[in-house]
């Protein structure tokens, strides 16, 4: 199918589809570990790359390819490589593109396991990382070394929704011969296109909004063909492969991504506006609110504020836990990107491995609550929070 000029809404339901000889309308699922060749010559042609087609499911599966092509169309990328999880995608980016002795500059406000991966695991293999402020491009420039190959950022960040200037970071990275990778998990291509803003690599935890219903794990790396060849070679050799079943679920998730992200964002804005006016709430962090420190930047590089809202209560952990425990509709869980709203206390869960001093310097107070706003009616979410807020 020629995709040129098609609107993203059309690409989300049409791009990447391949049909078998049965001409199924909904995409088929290919639960097989290997594929049979018609002859020894065909087997040789497939292995040499002279003839396209599946070989073995560690690195070729038609369902996984359909998911990759559809996501690439939505991100505007030449190529996508799918993975078993978001963390596998991040690991493969480094393993596929870097070597021992090289250096990463990364935002301090990235996913906790990414920090552990960079610091504790890659550090043991001679890839060093310097962590800097997500909102101060000067710190990125100052952290550059002759060996710097990769800049790594997440925008907006978790849980404080700090917004990084993707174009500014891309310019600095390119000045020093490094690539910029953006973890686009919180916005998805429905709201933000990092490649159009100058980034070289986009990374996803497909586990979150791309699935959108909290069912499966998955990940993806996107970029130009040259970079993705390195990432794919790591996948093919090391095998952190997206399963055929998960690829099928994710392919379906992409069909409703844009509709869901619009609804998540609209509900989040309504909830954030209500929280900001609430006398018991100290401050609200949501990129779609004019009071957000990087609101103007957020509205330049994202089409809406997204689905994540954080807010702070004066009463610290006691007040936060009371509000969380009083909820009846929301789920108390750290996951996000689900149709169901989730509520979490970062200081005692996702960020509990930081010392109190590290948390304080990161701005994650004991009274901070993060909500990943789902698709329930916002009025029911307000009632749910009011149960606890009225008691503190």
Ligand X SMILES: *Cc1c(COP(=O)(O)O)cnc(C)c1O
Please report, as ranges, the residues that interact with ligand X according to CB under 6 A.
85-87, 111, 114, 154, 158, 183, 185, 205, 207-208, 217, 219
In the complex with ligand X, the residue whose CB is nearer, 144 or 181, is 181
Q: What one-character DSSP code corresponds to residue 34?
A: B
In the complex with ligand X, the residue whose CB is nearer, 111 or 311, is 111
Buried residues in 40-69 as b, exposed as e (16+ CB within 10 A): eeeeeebeeeeeeebbebebbbbbbbbbbb
Q: Which pair of structure tokens corresponds to residue 205?
A: 């935890």
In whole angstroms, the minimum distance from the beta carbon of 3 to ligand X comes to 27
In whole angstroms, the minimum distance from the beta carbon of 80 to ligand X comes to 15
Q: In what order do the strands lie in the sheet with 368-372?
A: 281-285, 308-313, 368-372, 342-344, 331-332
Residue 80 host element (H or E): strand 79-83
In the complex with ligand X, the residue whose CB is nearer, 218 or 388, is 218
In whole angstroms, the minimum distance from the beta carbon of 91 to ligand X comes to 10
In the complex with ligand X, the residue whose CB is nearer, 93 or 319, is 93
In whole angstroms, the minimum distance from the beta carbon of 127 to ligand X comes to 18
Backbone angles phi, psi at 326, to 5 degrees: -80, -10
* C-beta of residue 122 within 8 angstroms of C-beta of residue 94: yes
In whole angstroms, the minimum distance from the beta carbon of 306 to ligand X comes to 12
In whole angstroms, the minimum distance from the beta carbon of 111 to ligand X comes to 4
CA distances from 38 to 43, 115, 360 (A): 8, 47, 63
In the complex with ligand X, the residue whose CB is nearer, 184 or 258, is 184
In the complex with ligand X, the residue whose CB is nearer, 219 or 288, is 219
Q: How far apart are CA 302 and CA 300, in angstroms?
A: 6
In whole angstroms, the minimum distance from the beta carbon of 203 to ligand X comes to 7
In the complex with ligand X, the residue whose CB is nearer, 149 or 208, is 208
In the complex with ligand X, the residue whose CB is nearer, 243 or 388, is 243
CA distances from 128 to 36, 51, 94, 145, 149 (A): 44, 40, 11, 11, 11
Q: How far apart are CA 264 and CA 296, in angstroms?
A: 20
Q: How far apart are CA 371 and CA 48, in angstroms?
A: 50
In whole angstroms, the minimum distance from the beta carbon of 43 to ligand X comes to 35
Residue 330 contacts by C-beta under 8 Å, 6 or more apart in sequence?
340, 341, 342, 343, 371, 381, 384
Residue from 117, 309, 299, 342 nearest 208 by CA:
342
* C-beta of residue 43 within 8 angstroms of C-beta of residue 11: no
In whole angstroms, the minimum distance from the beta carbon of 193 to ligand X comes to 17
In the complex with ligand X, the residue whose CB is nearer, 97 or 153, is 153
* C-beta of residue 27 within 8 angstroms of C-beta of residue 63: yes
């Amino acid at each position: 199918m020629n995709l040129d000029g098609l609107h993203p809404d059309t690409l989300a339901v049409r791009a990447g589809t391949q049909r078998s000889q049965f001409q199924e309308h909904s995409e088929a699922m290919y639960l097989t570990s290997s594929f049979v060749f018609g002859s020894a010559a065909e087997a040789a042609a497939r292995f040499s790359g002279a003839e396209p087609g599946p070989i073995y499911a560690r690195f070729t599966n038609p369902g996984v390819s359909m998911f990759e092509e559809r996501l690439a169309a939505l991100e505007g990328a030449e190529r996508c490589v799918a993975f078993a999880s978001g963390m596998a995608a991040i690991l493969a980016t480094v393993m596929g593109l870097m070597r021992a002795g090289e250096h990463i500059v990364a935002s301090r406000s990235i996913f906790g396991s990414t920090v552990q991966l960079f610091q504790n695991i890659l550090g043991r293999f001679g890839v060093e990382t310097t962590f800097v402020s997500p909102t101060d491009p000067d710190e990125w420039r100052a952290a550059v070394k002759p060996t710097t190959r990769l800049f790594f950022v997440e925008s907006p960040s978790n849980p404080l929704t700090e917004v990084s200037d993707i174009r500014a970071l891309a310019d600095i990275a390119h000045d020093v011969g490094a690539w910029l990778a953006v973890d686009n998990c919180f916005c998805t291509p429905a709201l933000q296109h990092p490649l159009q803003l100058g980034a070289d690599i986009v990374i996803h935890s497909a586990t979150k909004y791309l699935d959108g219903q909290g069912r499966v794990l998955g990940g993806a790396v996107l970029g130009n063909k040259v970079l993705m060849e390195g990432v794919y070679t790591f996948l093919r050799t090391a095998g952190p492969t997206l399963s055929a079943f998960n690829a099928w679920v994710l392919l379906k998730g992409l069909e409703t991504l844009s509709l869901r992200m619009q609804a998540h964002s609209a509900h989040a804005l309504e909830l954030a506006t209500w929280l900001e006016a609430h006398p018991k709430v100290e401050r609200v962090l949501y990129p779609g609110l004019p009071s957000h420190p990087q609101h103007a930047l957020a509205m330049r590089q994202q089409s809406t504020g997204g689905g994540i809202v954080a807010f702070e209560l004066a009463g610290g952990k006691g007040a936060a836990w009371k509000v969380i425990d009083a909820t009846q509709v929301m789920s108390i869980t750290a996951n996000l990107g689900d149709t169901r709203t989730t509520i979490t206390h970062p200081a005692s869960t996702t960020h509990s491995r930081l010392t109190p001093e590290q948390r304080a310097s990161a701005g994650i107070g004991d009274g901070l609550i993060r909500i990943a706003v789902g698709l329930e009616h916002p009025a029911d979410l307000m009632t749910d929070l009011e149960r606890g807020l009225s008691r503190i």
